[in-house]
């Protein structure tokens, strides 16, 4: 049975680490994928990267339609291979940065190369919401959070809130 994993939040070092490429047998990843999908669904998220549940590996799950299992995408070792010149600015949030939202400019479409959960090489051209999710989740795999991409003015504004989030972790 898939279980819900604990969410790592801002201030946790695992969110800032660059993840390791997956070298192990793909079939051994099945339980982690199942738990990540379950966690994403339970948290009502559209994307979840492994560092967010404390696993520093290049794995992410995404689902632009959280209630539809058919649209669930599991990615191993994803990388963006092409992007649109055009950018679009929209509000984003993140399960690991609770209570904060902000406008982030992202490519309108991206092409991503990855392996699926069975180890099959795939290429996806994502547009709209899915393109945004791909960019947000792949950022996580490089230790980048959406708050790093906010305007300087907005970052100044959320600084106290971020301090509060990180401070809550000191023991």
Q: Where are the beta strands (DSSP E) in the chain?
A: 47-49, 59-62, 73-83, 87-92, 102-107, 109-115, 121-127
Q: Which is nearer to Zn ion, 124 or 144 (CB)?
A: 144
Q: Are 62 and 130 in contact (CB under 8 A)?
A: yes
Contact characters 92-131, Zn ion, x per CB under 5 A: --x-------------------------------------
Which residue stretch of 30-38, 70-78, 86-94, 119-127 sits at the interface with Zn ion (rule: CB under 5 A)?
86-94
Q: Of 94 and 138, which CB lies nearer to Zn ion in the complex structure?
A: 94
147 binds Zn ion (CB under 5 A): no
Instruction: Work out whether 61 is an interface residue with Zn ion (CB under 5 A).
Output: no
Report the distance separating Cα 162 and Cα 16, nearest Å: 14
Closer residue to Zn ion (CB): 120 or 166 = 166
Concerning whether 137 is annotated as a catalytic residue, the answer is: yes
The counts of H helices and E strands in the chain are: 3, 7
* Binding status of residue 60 toward Zn ion by CB under 5 A: no
- Of 7-15, 65-73, 88-96, 98-106, the segment contacting Zn ion by CB under 5 A is 88-96
**What's the DSSP call for residue 21?**
P
Angle, CA 165 vertex, CA 163 and CA 170 arms, to 5°: 85
User: What is the token pair recorded at 96?
Assistant: 């690991």
CB nearer to Zn ion: give 14 or 26.
Answer: 14
Q: What does DSSP assign to residue 14?
A: G
Query: What amino acid positions are annotated as catalytic residues?
Result: 137
| Residues near Zn ion (CB under 5 A) | 94
């Amino acid at each position: 049975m898939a279980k819900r994993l604990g969410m790592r939040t801002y201030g946790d070092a695992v969110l800032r680490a660059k993840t390791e490429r997956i070298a192990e047998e793909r079939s051994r990843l099945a339980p982690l994928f199942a738990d990540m999908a379950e966690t994403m669904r339970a948290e009502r998220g559209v994307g979840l990267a492994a560092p967010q549940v404390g696993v520093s590996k290049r794995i992410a799950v995404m689902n632009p339609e959280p209630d539809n299992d058919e649209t669930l995408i599991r990615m191993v070792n994803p990388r963006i291979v092409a992007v649109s010149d055009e950018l679009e600015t929209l509000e984003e949030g993140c399960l690991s940065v609770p209570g904060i939202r902000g406008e982030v400019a992202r490519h309108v479409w991206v092409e991503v190369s990855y392996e699926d959960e069975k180890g099959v090489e795939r290429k996806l051209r994502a547009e709209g919401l899915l393109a945004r999710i791909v960019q947000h989740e792949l950022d996580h795999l490089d230790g980048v959070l959406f708050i790093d991409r906010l305007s300087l003015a907005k970052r100044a504004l959320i600084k106290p809130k971020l301090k509060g989030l990180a401070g809550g972790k000191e023991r």
